[in-house]
Amino acid sequence: MIYYDRVSKIYADNSVALEDVSFSVEPGEFISLVGHSGAGKTTLVKMLLAEEKPTTGSVFFESINVHEMPTSKINTLRRKIGTVFQDFRLLPNKTAYENIAFAMEASGKPEAEIHSDVPHVLELVDLGDKMNNFPHELSGGEQQRVAIARAIVNQPDVIVADEPTGNLDPVNTFEIVQILKKINDLGTTIILTTHNKGVIDSLKKRVITMDRGKVIRDDKEGKYIL
CA–CA distance, 104 with 93 (Å, rounded to integer): 17
| C-alpha 18 chain-centroid distance | 19
CA–CA distance, 190 with 32 (Å, rounded to integer): 8
Q: SS3 for 63-132, per residue?
A: CEEHHHCCHHHHHHHHHCEEEEECCCCCCCCCCHHHHHHHHHHHCCCCHHHHHHHHHHHHHHCCCHHHCC
Q: Which long-range contacts (CB under 8 A, 24 or more apart) does 122-129 make?
A: 122/96, 122/97, 122/146, 122/149, 124/149, 124/152, 124/179, 124/182, 124/183, 125/149, 125/179, 126/175, 126/179, 127/96
CA–CA distance, 32 with 157 (Å, rounded to integer): 17
How many other C-beta atoms lie within 10 A of the C-beta of residue 65? 12
Q: What's the DSSP call for residue 53?
A: -
User: 138 phi and psi, to 5 degrees?
Assistant: -115, 150
Q: Is 104 in contact with 121 (CB distance < 8 Å)?
A: no
- What local confidence, expressed as pLDDT, does residue 36 receive? 87
User: 156 phi and psi, to 5 degrees?
Assistant: -70, 160
Q: What is the pLDDT along the chain (226 residues), one digit of tens a residue?
A: 999 999 999 998 889 999 999 999 999 999 999 988 889 999 999 999 999 999 999 999 999 999 999 988 888 888 899 999 989 999 999 999 999 999 999 989 999 999 999 999 999 999 999 999 999 999 999 999 999 999 999 999 999 999 999 889 999 999 999 999 999 999 999 999 998 888 888 898 999 999 999 999 999 987 777 6
Number of H helices, E strands in the chain: 7, 10
CA–CA distance, 1 with 110 (Å, rounded to integer): 29
Q: Going edge to edge, which strands form the sheet with 81-85?
A: 81-85, 158-162, 189-194, 30-34, 206-211, 214-219
How many other C-beta atoms lie within 10 A of the C-beta of residue 88? 20
Average pLDDT, the chain: 93
- What local confidence, expressed as pLDDT, does residue 226 receive? 65
